[in-house]
Amino acid sequence: MNILIINGPNLNLLGKREKTIYGDASFDVYLESLRKRYPDINIVYYQSNIEGELINKIHECGFDYDGIILNAGAYTHTSIAIADAIRAVTTPVIEVHISNVHKREEYRHVSMISAACMGVILGFGTDSYRLAVEAFKK
Ligand code: DQA
């Protein structure tokens, strides 16, 4: 099984960025533990701060992979282009968020991409990614 995790803008700063919201572990450390937990799953990781690069990656992998786990960061709330990319490919996409965006500022309550995704997992810290892996396993 091949799963691609895509992290969008500012998620390269996990562990350094707003630690009270996003925690103090870097994504690399978390990714290592995730890969150990699922040795039979090929978990590929991609991060970019650039909207078009996220779209290119969805196009590149979106016809071959079994699942894409996407945390589009703030583009979640603005990007019709990412929603269109998700709709354009055949690989199912699960939207994830570390924080519970519905407890936060009102502009984070809207997602442009949810309706294009298979499902949404949010508010469980970095464990949101593992829950998405579990969803794909099923
Ligand atoms: C986030 C929530 C977004 O609103 C925010 O812009 C992020 C991270 C999350 O994982 O909680 O960058 O996607």
Inter-residue contact 94 to 67 (CB < 8 Å): yes
- Which of the residues 22, 65, 75, 129 is marked catalytic? 22
CA of 40 relative to ligand 1 center, distance in Å: 29
Inter-residue contact 89 to 62 (CB < 8 Å): yes
CA of 101 relative to ligand 1 center, distance in Å: 7
pTM (whole model) above 0.85:
yes
- Mean pLDDT taken over the chain: 97
Q: Which residues line ligand 1 (CB under 6 A)?
A: 10, 71, 73-74, 76, 97-99, 101, 108
What pLDDT shows up at residue 64?
A: 97
Domains of the chain, residue spans: 2-137
52 is written with which tokens?
A: 């078009």
Q: Under CATH, domain 2-137 is a member of which superfamily?
A: Dehydroquinase, class II (3.40.50.9100)
What pLDDT shows up at residue 101?
A: 98
- Active site annotation includes 97: yes
